[in-house]
Amino acid sequence: MGPGPISAYPSVLRAMSAPLVGQYDPFMTATMAETQDLYRRVWATENDATLLIDGTSRAGIEAALVSLIRPGDRVLVPVFGRFGHLLAEIAERALAEVHTIEVPWGQVFPVSAIREAVARVRPHVLALVQGDTSTTMNQPLEEIGEICRAHGVLFYTDATASLGGNDFEMDAWGVDAATAGLQKCLGGPSGSAPITLSERAVEVIRSRARVEAGIREESDPDAADFVRSNYFDLGMILDYWGPRRLNHHTEATSMLYAARECARVLLNEGRAAVIARHRLHGEAMLAGVGGLGLGVFGDLAHKMHNVVAVEIPDGVPGEAVRSTLLADFGIEIGTSFGPLHGRVWRIGTMGYNARTDAVLQTLAALESVLRRFGASVPAGGGVAAAEDVYAATDAPGGD
């Protein structure tokens, strides 16, 4: 019940035991094409360039940024948590001219702040996290695409923590590039990064200089426009996933199976239904920790559905509570980073863990452990508050 990685859907775990096939076996290429089609529906996009990067969610971020950013490009990164800093760092390493704006942890940016910064910086790329698990905040993106189009800016967003558990509309919001991972609301293991690219983004990628196998004899390396990575060169990866099927890396077959099954689970239940389930169980968990008398960090109007930052009560040893929950109840909750380190636990309700039993058991266990460490908590207060949320909704409480 941490902020991710989380327990995977059982069918996703099973999917990875399927036999491997050769990378140009017709079954393999058909599976790749099927997976692309499933993820178009997950992302709500018609982007042809919808595929997987073979690596963790961070690999997807880096593939997007190093392929879209030329050395010297201006990149604007609004930072509202740890993963905004990561985007800025990756853009730095790609030799971008990085500009940041910041809000305190626990807040998101008003649209006006992003509009002003885009107009002032006139970046080539706006790189903006959607959901940042470090603060639990969910940055509204609805109007950002329009701002970016008006200024000729490519709009990239990191939806790792949010996709599948919160609204996301790739095409309707005018996003040019987005990446995610399986280990949050998609309910799979870390190790495969869904990515989707608009035609504008693909045009930029296709305009980069190609590197052929062999030796660059004499050109000026600093001026050269090639992507500094082979593994993350989206131009080559698109040719591998596209109809040309040009050999690049050997696709990570078992992770492909996992990614396909994550999308199938989501689409079989229905995108809207899965998001509603995350909202429901997130609200139940939020009410439950309140019922235990615990405070919650951040602007609740902009909290992601799938994670809550719970303030550690004074005098309660936060790490001892976590390790007791794990040892005696088999339940993991998360620690936290940066300014929140030692101040909050992060409790997730995402993917397979967005379930009534998972929420109620976690609240009951947390109550028991808090009492063991001398905290004064209302008996049954967490479970009762969560049950009130379930009783008040028409939606089924389970999955």
Interface with a second copy in residues 251-280 (CB under 8 A): 251-255, 258
Give 4 or 282: the residue with its C-beta nearer to a second copy.
Answer: 4
Smallest gap from Cβ 132 to a second copy, in A, equals: 13
**From the list 4, 288, 291, 313, which residue makes contact with a second copy (rule: CB under 8 A)?**
4
Give 58 or 277: the residue with its C-beta nearer to a second copy.
Answer: 58
Write the interaction track for a second copy spanning residues 283-312; mark x where CB under 8 A is met and - where it is not: ------------------------------
Give 21 or 150: the residue with its C-beta nearer to a second copy.
Answer: 21
Residue type, 103: V
Smallest gap from Cβ 293 to a second copy, in A, equals: 26
**From the list 112, 207, 230, 268, which residue makes contact with a second copy (rule: CB under 8 A)?**
230
Question: Residue count at the site for a second copy (CB under 8 A)?
Answer: 75
**From the list 74, 93, 149, 355, which residue makes contact with a second copy (rule: CB under 8 A)?**
93
Name the CA dihedral angle for 121, 126, 132, 138, rounded to a multiple of 10 degrees: 90
Interacting residues with a second copy between 185 and 204 (CB under 8 A): 189-191
Give 255 or 296: the residue with its C-beta nearer to a second copy.
Answer: 255
The terminus-to-terminus CA distance of the chain in angstroms comes to 16
Smallest gap from Cβ 324 to a second copy, in A, equals: 13
Which has the closest alpha carbon to 281: 142, 379, 386? Answer: 386
DSSP letters spanning 176-237: SEEE--SSSTT-S-SS-EEEEE-HHHHHHHHHSPP--SS---SS-TTT--S-S-STT-HHHH
- Quote the tokens at residue 298: 């951040």
Give 325 or 383: the residue with its C-beta nearer to a second copy.
Answer: 325
Interacting residues with a second copy between 317 and 356 (CB under 8 A): 326, 332, 334-335, 337
Smallest gap from Cβ 78 to a second copy, in A, equals: 13
**From the list 38, 68, 69, 88, which residue makes contact with a second copy (rule: CB under 8 A)?**
88
Give 77 or 389: the residue with its C-beta nearer to a second copy.
Answer: 77
Residue 115 counted as an annotated binding residue: no
Contacts by residues 14-19 (CB-CB < 8 Å, ≥ 24 positions apart): 14/261, 15/257, 15/258, 15/260, 15/261, 16/189, 16/254, 16/255, 16/257, 16/258, 18/254, 18/257
Q: Is 52 helix (H, G, I), strand (E, B) or coil?
A: strand
| 314 sits near a second copy (criterion: CB under 8 A) | no
Burial grade of 260 (CB within 10 A; 0-12, 13-18, 19 or more): buried
Smallest gap from Cβ 389 to a second copy, in A, equals: 26
- Quote the tokens at residue 367: 């109550």
Sole window of 10-18, 135-143, 169-177, 300-308 interacting with a second copy (rule: CB under 8 A): 10-18
Name the CA dihedral angle for 155, 156, 160, 164, rounded to a multiple of 10 degrees: 40
Burial grade of 286 (CB within 10 A; 0-12, 13-18, 19 or more): buried
Give 19 or 243: the residue with its C-beta nearer to a second copy.
Answer: 19
Interacting residues with a second copy between 360 and 399 (CB under 8 A): none
Interacting residues with a second copy between 54 and 73 (CB under 8 A): 54-59, 62, 66, 71
Tell me how crowded residue 14 is: count the other CB atoms within 10 A of its CB: 13
| 98 sits near a second copy (criterion: CB under 8 A) | yes
Interacting residues with a second copy between 99 and 158 (CB under 8 A): 100
Q: Provide the CB-side half-sphere exposure for 223 (13 A, CA).
A: 3
- Those residues with Cβ within 8 angstroms of residue 76's Cβ, 6 or more apart along the chain or in another chain: 99, 100, 101, 117, 118, 121, 123, 125, 126, 127, 153
Q: Which residue ranges make up the annotated binding site for substrate?
A: 346
Q: Which residue ranges make up the annotated binding site?
A: 346
